[in-house]
Structure 1
Amino acid sequence: MAASRPARDFAYFAEQTPVGLAHRGGATYAPNVGRENTMAAFAAAVEMGYRYLETDVHATADGRLVAFHDDVLDRVTDATGALAELPWQEVSRARINGTEPVPLLEELLETFPEARLNIDVKAPAAVRPLVETIRAHDAVERVCVGSFSDRRLRAVRRALGPGLATSAGPAGVAGMKLLPGALTRLLHSPAQALQIPVTHPVAGRPVTLVLPRIVEAAHRLGKHVHVWTIDSAEEMHRLLDLGVDGIVSDRIDTLRDVLAARGTPLTPPNPQPPDTPTP
C-alpha cells in the first residue's frame, strides 16, 4: 500500500505550527462554562483569534447533523433523550445551559467561513449526513475528520476521497506505541495527523504516547501531532518543547497566552509594508 499524502499537501494544515484548537469552543474558558459546543462558545474562540475549532457530530432521528458531544441531551441541556431517537424539531427546542440552542454543523461552516473544523464522528448514523454536509458546503479543504471508530473513519474517507484530511483512529494510535512494526503500520495509514492524549490506557495501566521518538517518527512521515485535552500552561510548554504541532484545549485563554509567549500567537501580526525607497 502506498504511503499517504503528507500533511503539508492539505490546506487544512497550512497554518504555521504550533496551532491551537478550541475544544468544543473552549469548554472551561470562564465565559464558556456550561455552554460547550454552542455558537456563542465558538464565536468567543474565533474572536480570540482561533482558526481551528474542535467539535463532535451526531445525527438526529431524521438525519440532521448536530455539533454536540454526548449521545444524549441530559448532561448539558434542559431536555432529555437520545439524539438518535429524537427529531430535529424537538432537539432544536433544547437549550444548552438553559440558554443556547444546539447548533447544526452547517451553522458552524456558514457562520465561521475562515475557520477550520476538527470533527469527531461520534455515531454511525452521523457518517452519511457528515459527508453530505461537507459536500454541500464545499468544505473538504476546511475540515479534518477523526473518530474513535476506525469503521466510521474509513467510511468517511471512502466517501470523500483522498482530498480529505483525517486523523488517526484508535488502531493507528495504539499501533505507534504497542505493535511490532509500528512505524510501517503508520506509514501505511491514510491519516495526516495523530490526535492523541498524553497517555492511553493499555491492559489497565497508562502508557505514555507523546514521547520525543514518537513525535520525531510522525514528522519523518509527514504527519502532524496534536495532543488533547491540555489545560495546564506548564504541560502546554512541555509538549511544545517536544515539538508537537498542535494542542487541543478547553482553556483557550491559557493556550492563547502560552502561544503568544512563545512567539506564535493565534493571530499573527500584520506584516509591515516594506520601506519606500527614497527618491
Structure 2
Amino acid sequence: MAAFEGAVGLGYHHLETDVQATSDGVLAVFHDDELAPTSDGTGRISEMTWTEVSRARVDGEPIPRLEELLDAFDDVRISIDPKTDDAVEPLIEALRRPGVLERVCIGSFSDERLERVDQAFGDAVCLSFSPQEIARLRMLSIAGLPARKRRPARARSAGRTPPNRPFRGRIASIPLRRGPIPLATRRLVDYAHRAGLAVHVWTVDDPVEMGRLLDIDVDGIMTDEPRVLLDVMAKRGAWPADDGAGA
C-alpha cells in the first residue's frame, strides 16, 4: 500500500494494479501467481486462503486486498488487471459496489476475461484493449482508413459490440513495442484520437522515452518511477498531472 500512497502523495490520481484471487475468492493486490520471491511468503495464491496469503509481507508490509485499495483512494482512478480466470468473478462483484465502476478501467492480456467483464456491464465499464484490438488498431492506423468514432455508452448493450465498430475498449493500453515492432508511434496515437480513444503506454521508466511519448500526445504513461515522470512533466510545465498520468 505504501507505493500507492507515495504516488498519490506526489499528486498522481491514476494508479495501476494487478489482482490475484485466493481460493476463497478474495482479490489480493499482487502481480505474480506465486508469493515468492516478491514477498517473504511461499505458495500459489489461487491455492491459498486469504488468511494464509495475508501473513505474507512485501518489504515489511502486508499484501492489500482490492477492497482496501478502492476504499483508501476513493477519489483516484485505478486500472485493474485480473491476472487469472478465477479473479474475474470476484472482480465483477467488486465492481458492483456503489461508486466503483465509474473510476476503474479493466485490462487484461486475455480477451476472454475482458469479454466476461463486458458481458456483465456493457459500456458502463471502461475496458482497455485486448492484444487482438491492439493489433487491429495498428493495422488500421497503417492502412490510413477513416477512423470511426467510438459510440457513447448509451448506444451499447451488455456484451454486444455494435456492428461496424472495430473496438470494444475505450483505452489502447500498449507497450512501447511488440518484439521488434514499435507500437507507440505518432501515427497510431493520432489515429486512436480520431477514433475517440485514449492511448496509455506501459511500462516506461526512462525519462527520454517519457519525453518522446509526451511529444506524440499519449494520454497516459505507466511507470515504476513516478518521481522521474513527475520531473519530466514538471520541466514541461505539465504538473500537476491531468487524468493520464499514472503510476
* Range class of TM-score, shorter chain: 0.7 to 0.9
The range that moved more, 67-76 or 182-191, is: 182-191
For residue 190 of structure 1, report the CA deviation from its aligned partner: 1.4
The CA RMSD measured in Å over matched residues stands at: 1.9
| Aligned partners of 1:175 and 1:182 also within 8 Å | no
Give 1 or 2 for the bigger CA radius of gyration. 1
For residue 40 of structure 1, report the CA deviation from its aligned partner: 0.9
Of residues 29, 32, 46 in structure 2, which corresponds to 1:70?
32
Residue by residue over 1:209-239, the C-alpha shift from the partner in whole angstroms, topping out at 9 and shown as x without a partner, is 1111111110000001111111111111111
| Aligned partners of 2:137 and 2:192 also within 8 Å | no
| Aligned partners of 1:109 and 1:137 also within 8 Å | no
**Unmatched 5+ stretches in structure 1:** 1-38, 269-279
Q: TM-score, normalised by structure 2?
A: 0.86
Q: Which has the higher contact order (CA 8 A, sep 6+)?
A: 1
Counterparts in 2 of 1:137 and 1:73: CA distance versus 1, 3 Å: farther
Q: How many residues align?
A: 225
Counterpart position of 2:160: none
For residue 53 of structure 1, report the CA deviation from its aligned partner: 0.6
Q: Does structure 1 residue 143 correspond to structure 2 residue 94?
A: no
CA distance in 1, matches of 2:171, 2:144: 16
Q: Does structure 1 residue 80 correspond to structure 2 residue 54?
A: no
Aligned-partner residue type, residue 64 of structure 1: V
CA distance in 2, matches of 1:160, 1:172: 19
Counterpart position of 2:232: 258
Counterpart position of 1:272: none
For residue 178 of structure 1, report the CA deviation from its aligned partner: 4.5
CA distance in 2, matches of 1:154, 1:256: 35
Residue by residue over 1:2-57, the C-alpha shift from the partner in whole angstroms, topping out at 9 and shown as x without a partner, is xxxxxxxxxxxxxxxxxxxxxxxxxxxxxxxxxxxxx1111111111110010001
For residue 195 of structure 1, report the CA deviation from its aligned partner: 0.6
Q: Does structure 1 residue 90 correspond to structure 2 residue 68?
A: no
- Identity among equivalent positions (%) equals 47
| Aligned partners of 1:176 and 1:182 also within 8 Å | no
Q: Does structure 1 residue 249 correspond to structure 2 residue 223?
A: yes
User: Following superposition of structure 1 onto structure 2, how do residues 1-279 of structure 1 map, counting pairs within 5 Å?
Assistant: 39-97=1-59, 99-178=60-139, 187-201=165-179, 206-266=180-240
CA distance in 2, matches of 1:189, 1:108: 29
**Unmatched 5+ stretches in structure 2:** 151-164, 243-247
> Partner of 2:6: helix, strand, or coil?
helix
Aligned-partner residue type, residue 49 of structure 2: P
For residue 78 of structure 1, report the CA deviation from its aligned partner: 0.8
> Partner of 1:249: helix, strand, or coil?
coil
> Partner of 2:123: helix, strand, or coil?
coil
Aligned-partner residue type, residue 248 of structure 1: M
CA distance in 2, matches of 1:139, 1:51: 15
